[in-house]
Amino acid sequence: MSAEAVIHVIDDDDAARDSLAFLFESADLEVRSYASAAAFLTEAPGLVGGCIVTDVRMPEINGIEMLKRLKAQGVSLPVIVITGHADIALAVEAMKSGAVDFMEKPFDDEAMLRAVRAALVRHGKTLEAGQERAEIRRRLGVLSNREQQVLEGLVAGHANKRIAHDLDISPRTVEIYRAHVMTKMEAASLSELVRMALIVGLNGSIATSDN
């Protein structure tokens, strides 16, 4: 199991914490346990993968406050909060503060495992999407201004002749720029090129500066 799939269990109750750790370890999930939110928050910065399972009621820093501090630190790990029957309002507040799910005590072990695995899958897809956007932006960064303009024209659905007219260049020159764009963006087809542009929000409005 990679470090990115670590389940971080936070609970000031030793027995509850150990029970959760045993549950996850029995399901072949890597676990790290913390007796307080403060102990976890010292390690949280820099974590990019995994999942947090935390009790909502803890001394000093409760689950709600921890969520706020994680957000301030830029930590985006999915958080599942554990709540007692009398703490449903707190659980709802936790969801509004960024938790992805809550489990009411006493919870079913299989339900907890399903919730954690679902959170890991969703977070993994989010990480992949973020990495893809970053890579596309990197490729866009190597385009010249004119290549960027041609790309925007293609995303707008314009033919080479229309792009040439809008940019006051020849259709043949547009073809050359288009080939450069395909190479630099590492796109195998026009549809792939358009998909990448849409992922980063390129809307296809052509500017008129040169280069």
CATH number at residue 23: 3.40.50.2300
Please indicate, yes or no, whether residues 71 and 113 belong to a single structural domain of this protein.
yes
CB 95 within 8 A of CB 102: yes
Lowest mean pLDDT among 13-22, 87-96, 129-138, 186-195: 87-96
Domain count, the chain: 2
Domain around 21? 3-131
d(CA 89, CA 102): 11
Rounded to an integer, the average pLDDT of 185-200 is 88
Q: Is residue 7 part of a domain?
A: yes
Mean pLDDT value across the chain = 87
Task: Indicate if the pLDDT at residue 2 is higher than 70.
Answer: no
Task: Indicate if the pLDDT at residue 35 is higher than 90.
Answer: yes
Please indicate, yes or no, whether residues 148 and 126 belong to a single structural domain of this protein.
no
Please indicate, yes or no, whether residues 118 and 147 belong to a single structural domain of this protein.
no
- Residue 76 CA to its chain's centroid (Å): 7
> Which of 85, 101, 131 is the C-terminal boundary of a domain?
131
Task: Indicate if the pLDDT at residue 210 is higher than 60.
Answer: no
Q: Is residue 207 part of a domain?
A: no
Q: Is residue 206 part of a domain?
A: no
Measured distance between the N- and C-terminal CA atoms of the chain, rounded to whole angstroms: 49
The CATH number of whichever domain residue 150 belongs to comes to 1.10.10.10
User: Which pair of tokens denotes residue 93?
Assistant: 């507040």
Q: What are the pLDDT digits (tens) for 149-191?
A: 999 999 888 999 999 999 999 999 999 999 999 999 999 888 8
Question: Confidence band (pLDDT; 50, 70, 90) for 207?
Answer: very low
Q: What are the pLDDT digits (tens) for 62-113?
A: 888 999 999 888 888 999 999 887 677 788 888 888 888 888 888 899 999 9
Please indicate, yes or no, whether residues 92 and 185 belong to a single structural domain of this protein.
no
d(CA 166, CA 168): 6
Burial of 120 (C-beta count, 10 Å sphere; 0-12/13-18/19+):
buried
Whole-number Cα distances in Å, 56 to 82, 188, 197: 6, 49, 41
CB 32 within 8 A of CB 24: no
> Which of 131, 160, 182 is the C-terminal boundary of a domain?
131
Contacts for 48 with CB less than 8 Å, ≥ 6 apart: 4, 76, 77, 127
Whole-number Cα distances in Å, 12 to 16, 71, 120, 198, 205: 8, 22, 24, 46, 55
Please indicate, yes or no, whether residues 7 and 110 belong to a single structural domain of this protein.
yes
